[in-house]
Amino acid sequence: MKLRIFRVKLGLNSCYLIRGKDVIMIDGGMPKKLKVFKKVLTIIDINPSDIKLIVLTHSHFDHSGSAREIREFTGAKIAIHESERTYVEDGGMIIPKGVNIYGKITQPWLFAIFKKISFPRFKPDILITDDPYPLNAYGIDGNIIHTPGHTPGSISVILDSGEAFVGCMAHNGFPFRLSPGLPTYAQNIEEIKKCWKLLIDGGVKMIYPGHGKPFSVEIMKESLGYQ
Ligand SMILES: [Zn+2]
Ligand SMILES: [Zn+2]
């Protein structure tokens, strides 16, 4: 089945909808974005009840902020890595470090602000472990895989056709980067580089970042110094 991919901007964040037999959503956007989301669904002509799964790449407010309302609206199930469950259930925030000079300068004040942003808490329906979670039950050839580094429980959706939805394993554009590449903030950038090696060796072609527009894996290869 030919999959269709839609990018949905819910605040600073790029969420994605993948339509196979069912529709799955990657990330739940910033807080209070249900209204925008409803509008977008009308424009792209997706029935809310067709969305069966919301995969949260990690627990940060800009990726999980409207997840609860979107679940209530669509009836979809929410999946997140088991190690980030407590942050969406009880609050608190995993604070990543600045990776580059811009990141190091902006991290202290930016995350002091971010730390104070709260969003409606919820209990996830599906807890992802370190093992791949297949998506064929949704009519989508691909897997959810554990890709730690931005946060310890960051996960990605990798389609067999080469599209990678990677949350904050990559950034492309304001306010985090001006051009596509590695994220500006990460708990462990070396772990992210290891994940990229695995994804590149596995044949990923197109990268769909958590912030900004999709870009070719060739750009990532270049910034990692691959030939
Ligand atoms: Zn994040
Ligand atoms: Zn983010």
Among all ligands shown, which has an atom nearest to the Cα of 84? 1
Q: How far is the CA of 13 from the centre of ligand 2 (A)?
A: 6
- Over residues 49-96, the pLDDT tens digits come to 999 999 999 999 999 999 999 999 999 999 999 999 999 999 999 999
Give whole-number Cα distances, 148 to 161, 187, 191, 195, in Å. 22, 9, 6, 8
CA count, 13 A, side-chain hemisphere, 2 = 1
Give whole-number Cα distances, 42 to 25, 50, 52, 83, in Å. 15, 13, 17, 34
Q: How far is the CA of 58 from the centre of ligand 1 (A)?
A: 7
Ordered by start, the domain boundaries in the chain are: 4-223
Q: Which two tokens mark 144?
A: 């959810």
Helices (H), 54-153: 61-64, 67-74, 85-89, 101-114
At residue 107, the 3 state secondary structure works out as helix
119 in Cβ contact with 66 (< 8 Å): yes
Q: How far is the CA of 2 from the centre of ligand 1 (A)?
A: 30
Q: How far is the CA of 1 from the centre of ligand 2 (A)?
A: 31
Q: How far is the CA of 83 from the centre of ligand 2 (A)?
A: 17
What residues flank ion ligand 1 with Cβ within 5 A?
A: 60, 168
CATH topology of domain 4-223: Metallo-beta-lactamase; Chain A (3.60.15)
Q: How far is the CA of 29 from the centre of ligand 2 (A)?
A: 9
Which pTM does this prediction carry? Answer: 0.97
What whole-number distance in Å separates Cα of residue 114 and Cα of residue 184? Answer: 15
Among all ligands shown, which has an atom nearest to the Cα of 27? 2
- Over residues 93-151, the pLDDT tens digits come to 999 999 999 899 999 999 999 999 999 999 999 999 999 999 999 999 999 999 999 99
At residue 142, the 3 state secondary structure works out as strand
Q: How far is the CA of 60 from the centre of ligand 1 (A)?
A: 5
